[in-house]
Structure 1
């Protein structure tokens, strides 16, 4: 087995993060390169300035290449934005009477039927993920290959996005001289990094709070059930602080990171923040409790919106594994207690674990999506070697589907 290099690019609202991973002969994933750069040209996860976005991606790529010593030519890329939506669909097919055993082609045919949903011209399918299979009425089947039957059904989770938003991101990555191996909706990637199998089997909600957006995903019976992206994130908390305390946005961000807390009741009334450490010409004092009150108000609003999305999924109160909070804003002290209180669920912070190499620098919630992109790429057929590809029947179907998707993207 040859060493395999996998690259993940998280193009976020506040930062672009590039991770380079190497799978050694023992099957261990080592992080050999990390490149981060402040993000420019994006608003709430969507590209609004192509040149600025390309510059940000290029800077992060350069840092990752210099650290890893490897030239990055292809990568698994994350996509977010409030244009992302999802629905569940079913596809039914009959098994050939000459060959009653289910083969990969039957799964592909059923998935094609499941994907035949009515979509507006300005939307396209990003993911079609099989959730489970039914053979002659028998439910709960995870791998139907080789089973015998007459009627075969697949339940699929279909994630769609805005055509223009998808293509603008593709254009930016390609202009940075990187080929996209796969485009992955960010809550799926984050789930790869921070969720455990037992949690997804029981039922769990993932809440990834980034700078410009909050990704919400509900997993049930070991598979994704509901996906959405909310147009609210850590940047709005910073904006509220800047407005409420009449401070520059940069200073407000530093205050949030250094002294921020989501529960004012834990802070003494006489606990003051000296602004001169951030602005030398200013000798004002700010009550830390006031800062916490501003943060708490926005965090409560955010989790109220998350609660509404969980209710829409149909699993409000039916998620025994609770909620896993991740993303950069998850590092705010007190946010876990607010999540548990408002969602009425057990809550924990999700950090990527089980990594090697430069893992210490990225074992934080802020890197959950980037790490998840590496793990997605590791298990995705596009990253198999040519020799391995011939051994995997499912590889052919996946590549044909992907080629068709990219061709549709560029042919008018």
Structure 2
């Protein structure tokens, strides 16, 4: 199969690295062609802290995916997360010189580009500029200003900011693993694409993605992203607590959490005991499941409460900003028993577990429809959409060529420009800037 027919998403997580190859079938669903998963050794709390180990893990995952599918991976879409990610709200405006002409894409782009000039803290860079509502000559709550008349165009923006060095390190790892960087996406946005329906985004929903090293939050209302946050705790701190509290090794703690862990201590009876083999001839350890779930409960409550503070910061208590669809939990950590009930108890909001199967073709492997792969599936969807956009732009250019029949040199240049433009999102341009930086850093 030629390269043009499939796309690749690469999820660089704290506990695992997943490479997932897929393509869009004729029904608009994603068909998974291959998947590779490796243990992530060089990432801590969503941030690369060992380049060499991360490169090895990426290569391992990519090789497995290639072996599974019989395809060659060259370009990938990568997710970015980590405790350095923060977001802010910002308003900006432009005054148009020709108010008698309708607002077009260039005006919106000019306004978005202006936001990029915001002064950030040293070492920080703007990753996403997401317009929320527009105002034209004081008329508010406009979702799409294109085609309208007006002299003053203003908008509220959701601006996502990250540490330049962390983002460049991810780019470096991709390049050194022998891959091209197709695009970079914020992980909570990728997970949201994979598990949320359009109705939920309209009604108002908070997506909580509990990963190994971080818990990512994305809040949507009226179909628009309203708030994002990354909390630097995830499943690993729960494992760490079990390890310390029960004096056992990490591998055993992880197994205990997965097999017997529960976020609700009341579920376990006092006489339910699990025996763990001792180290090197020592006596086996006996741990009551009630104690185990108390340890887990304490940490999970802390994580959920931090997320709830972020939901309140967004303004969930206000009637206009109420999240009617409640909370969707996804990520590996969402598989913890009774977590849904605990989240409902703490927040008082409707909760469900989000599975990334809505956009997958019917014959997909059940394993991939697990919350564990939500981010990877979201990144793959992003890669597929990017490819579709490029195809559409090419198609337009070809059609223009056909309409013109015989071409003058000028027409040809115009078509070429149209093809080049492909109406890149601002974030795609930012990715290109990063790619150039990496090329020059050789």
- Give your verdict on TM over 0.5: yes
Equivalent residue for 1:395, pick from 402, 412, 422: 422
What SS class does the counterpart of residue 422 from structure 2 fall into?
A: helix
Equivalence map 1:286-301=2 (5 Å): 286-301=287-302
Paired with 1:315 and 1:97, the residues of 2 have a C-alpha distance of: 40
**TM-score, normalisation: structure 1:** 0.93
Residue number in structure 2 paired with 1:375: 381
Equivalence map 1:308-327=2 (5 Å): 308-316=309-317, 318-327=322-331
**TM-score, normalisation: structure 2:** 0.87
Residue number in structure 1 paired with 2:370: 364
1:5 to partner: Cα distance: 1.2
Equivalence map 1:218-257=2 (5 Å): 218-257=219-258
CA contact (8 A) 1:104 1:393 kept: no
What SS class does the counterpart of residue 13 from structure 1 fall into?
A: coil
Residue number in structure 1 paired with 2:342: 338
Matched, 1:57 2:51: no
Paired with 1:389 and 1:183, the residues of 2 have a C-alpha distance of: 26
Residue number in structure 1 paired with 2:157: 156
Instruction: Flag structure 1 segments of 5+ consecutive residues without an equivalent.
Output: none
Count, aligned residues: 411
Equivalence map 1:12-411=2 (5 Å): 12-97=13-98, 100-276=101-277, 282-316=283-317, 318-354=322-358, 355-356=360-361, 357-380=363-386, 384-385=390-391, 387-388=394-395, 390=397, 395-398=422-425, 400=429, 402-404=431-433, 406-407=435-436
Deviates more, 1:175-184 or 1:108-117: 108-117
CA contact (8 A) 2:264 2:293 kept: yes
Paired with 1:112 and 1:154, the residues of 2 have a C-alpha distance of: 12
Distance 1:245 1:401, change over 3 A: closer
Deviates more, 1:289-298 or 1:140-149: 140-149
Paired with 2:429 and 2:186, the residues of 1 have a C-alpha distance of: 20
CA contact (8 A) 1:9 1:77 kept: yes
Residue number in structure 1 paired with 2:401: none
CA contact (8 A) 2:394 2:419 kept: no
What SS class does the counterpart of residue 148 from structure 2 fall into?
A: coil
Instruction: State the Cα RMSD in Å.
Output: 2.4
Paired with 2:308 and 2:139, the residues of 1 have a C-alpha distance of: 33
**Deviation by residue 1:346-404 (Cα, 9 ceiling, x = unmatched):** 11111112212434121111111111111222334686226147478973343555434
CA contact (8 A) 1:115 1:158 kept: no
Paired with 1:348 and 1:28, the residues of 2 have a C-alpha distance of: 23
